[in-house]
């Protein structure tokens, strides 16, 4: 009887286009490996190709697509709500303070979705596209590659208020960061590992001005003036007023490569954002600093932790089964 039940369950999963169960092939009882194996077998290859083309045209796009996934997952979960435009009763998350004139990459997702709709109509969700694109973006810049768990469905709504409330700000204190990640079911280890995404990409002057002109206790007592040169560089890029959209790399050492240099920067007081330096300057217990040292001296350890935390983040409040929908156009509900 037990064998018969297992056989029937397997048949149902195949019929639904999921996959034959082999060992532990689900995460959180909701997402699956090779989810599109039967229904859209080239889905991941299509995403990978288009992401590679986009990053070759604009290297910064890798960081942008990674950030897009992050900003999506922290608001109602990984449900592609961040991609929705204003329409009807929907107020777009794109207009929220953390996103306005900041997040980018929507056209890349649009193109991927168009190609996937031609190949496999109403099959691959926008939420899964964001997840795959984030993984491929990291790998393209020299970072780790991990297996993505798929089967997300797309939200029928957006949360403008949630985007303003839940996305961590660039001037957050360590305690505020810990609390923000805890709200999403992520712990301090996830916070440290995922902060390593700042090894690529750029930030606007408005995001790091406070860090430059409101000195921390460490900088005020900079007896050996080891932070002075870096502050001078940042002030030349970002004056005390104006030039809000001027960009600076989050990692001045290896700005185009996904590596562990972000953590080396932190130990040298060269984090671009206030929230970056908070990881080491506000850690009274020493737990965070210890982990920063570990990643600064062991890139493979960082890569492994980052991949694990990305999988964990990608499972935040996902919609599966009959929840939500598979959008035809990522910008609008069907």
Strand-pairing partners, residue 32, are 26, 150
Say whether 59 counts as a known binding-site residue.
Answer: no
The rounded distance, in Å, linking the Cα atoms of 253 and 104 is 24
251 is in an annotated binding site: yes
Residue 248: its H or E element: strand 247-249
- Which residue in the block uniquely carries the two structure tokens 């005020």? 220
Q: Is 222 annotated as a binding residue?
A: no
Candidates 109, 131, 119; CA nearest to 330 is 109
Asked if residue 283 belongs to a known ligand binding site, the reply is no
190 is in an annotated binding site: no
- Known binding residue 85? Answer is no
According to the annotation, is 198 in a ligand binding site? Answer: yes
Please check if 261 is assigned to a binding site.
Answer: no
Flag whether 110 is marked binding.
no
Answer yes or no: are the C-beta atoms of 80 and 301 closer than 8 Å: no
Residue 98, token pair as written in the block: 């953390």
Q: Are 73 and 134 in contact (CB under 8 A)?
A: no
- DSSP-derived letter for residue 33 is T
Residue with tokens 């109602």, as numbered in its chain: 76
71 is a catalytic site residue: yes
CA-CA-CA-CA torsion sign (158, 109, 134, 280): negative
Q: At what angle do helices 205-213 and 228-237 cross, to 10 degrees?
A: 140
CB burial of residue 321 (10 Å; 0-12, 13-18, 19+): exposed
- Which of 69, 71, 221, 261 is labelled catalytic? 71
Nearest to 15 by CA among 31, 39, 34: 39
- Answer whether 66's CB lies under 8 Å from 137's CB: yes
- 168 DSSP 8-state letter: P
| Residue 154 assigned as binding residue | no
Beta bridge partners of 247: 204
Question: Is 148 annotated as a binding-site member?
Answer: no
- Residue 168 marked ligand-binding: yes
The pair phi, psi for residue 87, each rounded to 5°, is: -170, 125
Q: Which residues are catalytic?
A: 71
Binding-site residues from annotation for heme b = 198
Binding-site residues from annotation = 72, 75, 77, 79, 81, 93, 168, 198-199, 251, 254, 259
Binding-site residues from annotation for substrate = 168
Binding-site residues from annotation for Ca(2+) = 72, 75, 77, 79, 81, 93, 199, 251, 254, 259
């Amino acid at each position: 009887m037990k064998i018969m039940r297992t056989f029937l369950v397997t048949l149902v999963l195949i019929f639904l286009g999921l996959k034959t169960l082999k060992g532990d092939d689900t995460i959180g009882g909701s997402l699956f490996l090779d989810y599109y194996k039967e229904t859209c077998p080239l889905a991941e290859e299509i995403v990978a190709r288009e992401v590679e083309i986009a990053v070759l045209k604009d290297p910064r796009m890798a960081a942008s697509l990674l950030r897009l996934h992050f900003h999506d997952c922290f608001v109602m979960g990984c449900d592609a709500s961040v991609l929705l435009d204003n329409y009807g009763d929907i107020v777009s998350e794109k207009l929220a303070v953390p996103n306005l004139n900041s997040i980018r990459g929507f056209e890349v997702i649009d193109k991927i979705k168009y190609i996937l709709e031609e190949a496999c109509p109403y099959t691959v969700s926008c939420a899964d596209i964001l997840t795959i694109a984030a993984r491929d973006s990291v790998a393209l810049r020299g970072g780790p590659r991990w297996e993505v768990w798929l089967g997300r469905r797309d939200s029928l709504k957006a949360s403008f208020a949630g985007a303003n409330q839940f996305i961590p700000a660039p001037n957050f204190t360590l305690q505020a960061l810990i609390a923000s990640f805890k709200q999403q079911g992520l712990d301090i280890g996830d916070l440290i590992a995922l902060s390593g995404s700042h090894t690529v990409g750029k930030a606007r002057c408005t995001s790091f001005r406070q860090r430059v002109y409101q000195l921390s206790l460490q900088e005020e007592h900079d007896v050996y003036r080891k932070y002075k040169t870096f502050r001078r560089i940042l002030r030349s890029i970002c004056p005390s007023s104006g030039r809000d959209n001027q960009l600076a790399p989050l990692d001045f050492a290896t700005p185009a490569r996904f590596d562990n240099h972000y953590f080396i920067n932190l130990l040298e007081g060269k984090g671009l954002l206030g929230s970056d330096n908070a990881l080491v300057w506000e850690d009274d217990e020493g737990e965070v600093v210890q982990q920063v040292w570990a990643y600064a001296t062991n890139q493979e350890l960082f890569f492994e932790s980052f991949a694990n935390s990305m999988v964990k983040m990608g499972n935040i409040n996902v919609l599966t089964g009959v929840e939500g929908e598979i959008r035809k156009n990522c910008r609008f509900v069907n």
